[in-house]
Structure 1
Amino acid sequence: MKHLDRIAALLAKAERTDNPIEAELYLAKAQALATQASVDLAVARARIAKREAREQPTNKTIHIGEPAQRANRHLVALFLSIGHCNALKIDIAHNSTYVIAYGMPSDIEVCETLYASLATQMATSATAWLKRGEWRGDRYRSREGYAKEHTSQTARAAFYTAFIERIAQRLREAYEQEVARQSQRVVDIAPEEFGAVMGEKVTGELVLRAKEIEVRDFYRSSSSARGRWKGYSGSVSRQGGAASLAGREAAARARLGSSREVTSKGPGLSA
């Protein structure tokens, strides 16, 4: 998605600049692009709905940020939270500058758009909160257990960490609700395709599980990734003081879009 590279660049510029007016301009442009991406996705969904052929798993490389950008690990964590609730498997570059998403094409597209929106909302809300100066004089608990006074960098890190954790919680809850809803739906498809015998009812939950297995098998046969991604390794723990509280509150207010953007339907399910 072309929008993502431009959004990532604008967010990076907003974070680097010391000029608050420039930062607001960059964030405004990023927000406009994120909104446009949602419009593009709506058009794409209409086309996808008309396709008769069943989707097949694929993979796509998605740009996160430039090397040595402080926010990269947070942005990767955000994408992981979205992808895991949309039946994606994800490989991560050693320097967190890009990820490789494995899944159904429409699911990857949905995750890209939701990521663009949430990354922009996260950066915008963090910048606005930091600008108010409530972090000055506040303390956080370091990973070593010491109480330390916040800098603007540690306050932003605490805000981002809490924001992402709350978003992940909201997405998990939405996913569980969708699975429960799909367990009550009977899907009008060829049952033998999903392991059922002729005449047995096939639920939407079974289709979702079948898709997850299909993506998992595709990932195992396609990925060459080794090792484990360590995530954010800075000094700020989950006890980030006022910054953590502000991040959780911003995530609670964040727009997740439609239910289709929160958790994807399985192959063959109609709206």
Structure 2
Amino acid sequence: MKLERIAALLAKAERTDNQAEADAYLTKAQMLATLASIDLATARNHTKTTETLTPVSRTVTIGVKGKRANTHLVNLFVTVAHSNSAHVDVARDSTYVISYGMPSDLDSIETLFSSLAVQMITNGNAYVNAGSWRGEKFDGRVRVSGGYRRRRVEFTAQTARAAFYRAYIVRIGERVNEGRAQAIRENDSMTKKKGGLSGALVLANREKEISSFHRKTSQARGSWGGYSGVATNNSGSAASAGRRAASSANLGNRRELPGARQELST
């Protein structure tokens, strides 16, 4: 699998306003990424050339220090990464992540993340600016001694945007996992007659190697706190709008991301 094949799907997605078509393009892109991962892992078992087929780590910049929205971008990156057999360490201030995986998988992750981040930012800003959330109350998650409790609170621009992003990310996770599952089924239908290993087993073996690499090389300590605000991925109309946007998300041009990141604020 070449990144050019994913890029071709992105170009098609850019030209359609049809939700069903956009959904199909994202699913297909994830299928290509998963099939590529299976193919490379299988090929490695039949060759002594492992120079470019060993796990690596990469640092990916998320955003400027102090931006609360960085947590949402980190969550989006982690969601895409986990669907592509990668491990992720997150900086304490959420300004960057370190991904661990096979080079081709990390290429796919960065391509998908960059495109989806642009769509999340653009659609989230459009939703907040439209103002339909004004005056609406939702069941918020409020921190109390010993944990959290639910409380009815009124949306602000900040919480509406956060709810939109959180729901968007959950839905994207569902879609990329659907693509991964379809890729495994497609692989298994082709290899069953040849007596090859199942896609799930190939990926499981690959993930064990990546996990071992992560344990040996990661310098991360503790756990990442993530988002701790009142909004949830089920918070009122904002969450519904986020899911709708994610269901029809196009995959855009990764070169747009740096400028778009600067506009993201929650």
TM-score computed with the length of structure 2 as normaliser: 0.69
Shift of 1:256: 5.3
1:1-271 map, 5 Å: 53-54=49-50, 55-144=53-142, 145-186=150-191, 201-255=196-250
Shift of 1:237: 2.8
The farther-off stretch of 230-239 and 58-67 is 230-239
Distance 1:236 1:205, change over 3 A: closer
Deviation string 1:237-256 (CA, Å, 9 cap, x unpaired) is 33321111100100111135
Aligned partners of 2:243 and 2:207: how far apart in 1?
Answer: 30
Shift of 1:102: 0.3
Match of 1:19 in 2: none
Q: Secondary structure at the match of 1:142?
A: strand
Aligned partners of 1:208 and 1:255: how far apart in 2?
Answer: 27
Distance 1:235 1:205, change over 3 A: closer
Shift of 1:207: 2.5
Shift of 1:88: 0.3
Q: Secondary structure at the match of 2:190?
A: coil
Residues 170 and 233 in structure 2, CA contact (< 8 A), matched pair in contact too: no
1:225 aligned partner, one-letter code:
A
**Greater RCO, CA 8 A, separation 6+:** 2
Residues 101 and 210 in structure 2, CA contact (< 8 A), matched pair in contact too: yes
Shift of 1:101: 0.2
Shift of 1:107: 0.7
Residues 64 and 72 in structure 1, CA contact (< 8 A), matched pair in contact too: yes
2:202 aligned partner, one-letter code:
V
Aligned partners of 1:167 and 1:73: how far apart in 2?
Answer: 16
Distance 1:78 1:246, change over 3 A: same
Shift of 1:154: 0.8
Aligned partners of 1:65 and 1:185: how far apart in 2?
Answer: 42
4+ long deviations beyond 6 Å: none
Aligned partners of 1:81 and 1:129: how far apart in 2?
Answer: 22
Aligned partners of 1:220 and 1:180: how far apart in 2?
Answer: 30
Q: How many residues align?
A: 202
Residues 164 and 233 in structure 2, CA contact (< 8 A), matched pair in contact too: no
Shift of 1:226: 1.8
- Runs (5+) with no aligned partner, structure 2: 1-28, 30-35, 41-46, 143-149, 253-266
CA RMSD of aligned residues (A): 2.8
Aligned partners of 2:109 and 2:234: how far apart in 1?
Answer: 29
Shift of 1:235: 1.5
Q: Secondary structure at the match of 1:148?
A: strand
Aligned partners of 2:196 and 2:170: how far apart in 1?
Answer: 37
Distance 1:234 1:184, change over 3 A: same
TM-score computed with the length of structure 1 as normaliser: 0.68
Shift of 1:169: 1.2
Aligned partners of 1:82 and 1:237: how far apart in 2?
Answer: 19
Aligned partners of 2:165 and 2:59: how far apart in 1?
Answer: 23
